[in-house]
Structure 1
Amino acid sequence: MNAFSFNSVKYNFWPLYEAIKLYYPIGIPHDSSLYINYPGIKNLTAVIIENIHNSDNYNRNWVSFQKEISQKFNIEVIGTTYGQAPSFSCDLIIENFEHNQLKRTKKLSLAVSLAGKFFTIYGVDETIITDKNEDNFDSDFHAINALAVSPYKEFELVFKDLKSMVEAKFTSYKFVPFAINSMFIKGLQVRYLFKEECTIYNALFNHLLDTYDTKKSPRGDKHYGYDDWLVEDYNPENDINITLTPPNP
C-alpha cells in the first residue's frame, strides 16, 4: 500500500493532510456513531449540501463553469459531480469512437475539492462494450486502458489550458499530483465509500479513480505538479546527493 509520504524539506504537502484531518476522524470507522457525529463530518456534509444540493449555488459555481469549458474548447463536457462526495467534477470528451457495441473514449477528468483549495486533472482512455440482451436490459463492460496524469501527447494542450482556467476561476487553488492522490492515510475512511482505508483522492475529491489500478504505470509524469508545492525558502543548492559505488577491486 502506498502510504502518504513526501520530502518535507523540499515540499509542503501538509495543507492536504490538515484539510483531511479537519474534516475526517482518522482511525474511526465510518459506520460508527462517533464518525457520523464528528464535528468535521458534520461541517463537510453542510459544505456539500450548500454547494451541490443547493441548485442555485451549484448552477452558479459549477454548471456555469462547465459551460465555459465547453465553449472554450468546443467539446462536450459531461457533469460527473456525485452528491455525496466533496467535489465538483466533470469530464471533457477529447475523442469518441463508436462502432456497433464498441465505444472508445478519451477524456480529461476534472475535480475541484470542497474540502480545501485543491483540484486535480487526469486523462482517461477507456473502452465500453455493450452486450445487447433479449430482455432489453443491456450490459456494459467497462475497462480503463490507461491514465494520463500530466499534459501528455493527445491530452497536452487541453490539459494545460484547463489547468489555467481552473486556477483563474478558483483563486489560490492548487493542483494535486497523481502520486499524492493515490496515496493512503492509515485509518482514513470516507462516508460515501465502504472501504477500510481510503486515498487522499477519495477524501478530497471522489471515487472515480478507484476503477483504475493505480499500481499500474500511468502515461506521463505522476509527479507533475510537485513544483507547485515547494517550500517557500527551499534552495536546491542545499540538496545533498549521495552516490554509493562498489569498492575498487
Structure 2
Amino acid sequence: MQYFNPDMFDFGKVFDSIKHFYPIGVKKNESRLDFSYPGFKELESIIIDNIHSVKHFEDRWSVFIREIEAEFNKETIGTTYGQAPSFSAFVLLEKSTFDNLTRTKEVHFFVSLVGPYYTIIGLDSNTVKIEEKNYRSTNYLVVSPENEFAQIFRLLCDKIETRFEGFRFIPIDLCRQVIDGLNVRYSAENLNTVFHALFNDHIDLAVNSTIGNEYYKSEDWIKEGSVDISGGWTAYPPIG
C-alpha cells in the first residue's frame, strides 16, 4: 500500500470528512456515546434526505441510473442501501451461463454522501447454484480502465463528474486504508476502511487479484502549487 505524500496530495480532506461524521475510537456495545455523536445524527439526516425521500432519491439518483442505462445500452441495477452513506449501482457488462455456473462482469459505481467523493470498481465473479442456493466467488477486481471494462469505466467517471460537480475519484489504494477505531452504524460487522466509511460494504476489497492502476486518478488530488523535484514532490505556499 502506498502512503501518499501529504506535501503533494490533499487526501487529508477525505479523512477530515470521515472524522466529522464518525466517532473514531468509540467502540460498539460499550458506550451509548456513538448514538449521541453529532456527526452520526447529521449523517443520518443526510441519508434520510437523499435516500429515504422518494422524490429526492428519484431526482438525485434514479434518473441518473436510467440515463446511464439508456446511453450504454446495458442493464444498470441500483444497489443503494437505505442505511449506508452512498448512492450505488452497477452496469452489467457481460453474463454467461453454463450448467449451474454463471459468470458475470459488472462495473460498480458509488457516490458518497459523506463528502464529494466517488469510486468505480469492476467485478468479475462466478455464481454456482446448488440445490436452489447461490454461492458467489470473486475472480478479480478491476480498479482502473482496463480491457473490456475500460470504455464504460471511463464514461462513468465522466458522467459522475458532470452530474456531481466537484466530486473526485477515490483510488482503490486509498479505499483499502484502515481507520483504527472506525464505527459505522449501517452494519454490525467490523468495517474499518475508507471505503466502508464513504460508501458501503458491497464489495470485498480484500480480494488479492486486481487488474489496473491502484492509484488511478490520484493526480486529481495533487495540491495546487506542487512541483516535481528529482522524482519527489513538495508543495509551495501561494505567492502574496
- Among the aligned pairs, what percent are the same residue? 36
Give, in angstroms, the shift of residue 100 of structure 1. Answer: 2.6
2:49 alignment partner in structure 1: 50
Larger radius of gyration: 1
Please point out which of 173, 176, 194 is paired with 1:179: 173
1:61 alignment partner in structure 2: 60
Structure 2 letter corresponding to 1:6: F
TM-score normalized with structure 2 length: 0.92
Q: Distance in 2 between matches of 1:154 and 1:54?
A: 36
2:87 alignment partner in structure 1: 88
Please point out which of 13, 16, 19 is paired with 1:15: 13
Give, in angstroms, the shift of residue 98 of structure 1. Answer: 1.6
Matched, 1:117 2:116: yes
Give, in angstroms, the shift of residue 240 of structure 1. Answer: 4.2
1:234 alignment partner in structure 2: 226
CA spacing shift, 1:82–1:44, aligned 2, 3 Å: same
Q: Distance in 2 between matches of 1:7 and 1:217?
A: 26
1:213 alignment partner in structure 2: 206
Pairing 1:79-228 to 2, within 5 Å after superposition: 79-132=78-131, 138-196=132-190, 198-210=192-204, 212-214=205-207, 216-228=208-220
Contact kept, 8 Å, 1:150 with 1:156, in 2: the verdict is yes
Residue deviations 1:100-156 (CA, integer Å, cap 9, x gap): 321110010000000100000010001001112xxxxx2110001000000011100
- Of 85-94 and 216-225, deviating more is 216-225
SS of equivalent to 2:61: helix
CA spacing shift, 1:41–1:105, aligned 2, 3 Å: same
SS of equivalent to 2:59: helix
Give, in angstroms, the shift of residue 10 of structure 1. Answer: 1.4
Q: Can you give the 5+ residue segments of structure 1 that lack an aligned partner in the other structure?
A: 133-137, 242-249
- Of 72-81 and 5-14, deviating more is 5-14
2:237 alignment partner in structure 1: none
Q: Distance in 2 between matches of 1:41 and 1:11?
A: 27
Structure 2 letter corresponding to 1:126: S
Larger relative strand fraction: 2
Structure 1 letter corresponding to 2:26: I
Instruction: Give the paired residue count.
Output: 232
Contact kept, 8 Å, 1:180 with 1:200, in 2: the verdict is yes
Segments ≥4 residues shifted beyond 3 Å: 238-241
Contact kept, 8 Å, 1:186 with 1:197, in 2: the verdict is no
Contact kept, 8 Å, 2:103 with 2:126, in 1: the verdict is yes
Contact kept, 8 Å, 1:26 with 1:189, in 2: the verdict is yes
Residue deviations 1:186-240 (CA, integer Å, cap 9, x gap): 1112112234451000000000123x424x1410111111111001111013644
Structure 2 letter corresponding to 1:110: F
TM-score normalized with structure 1 length: 0.89
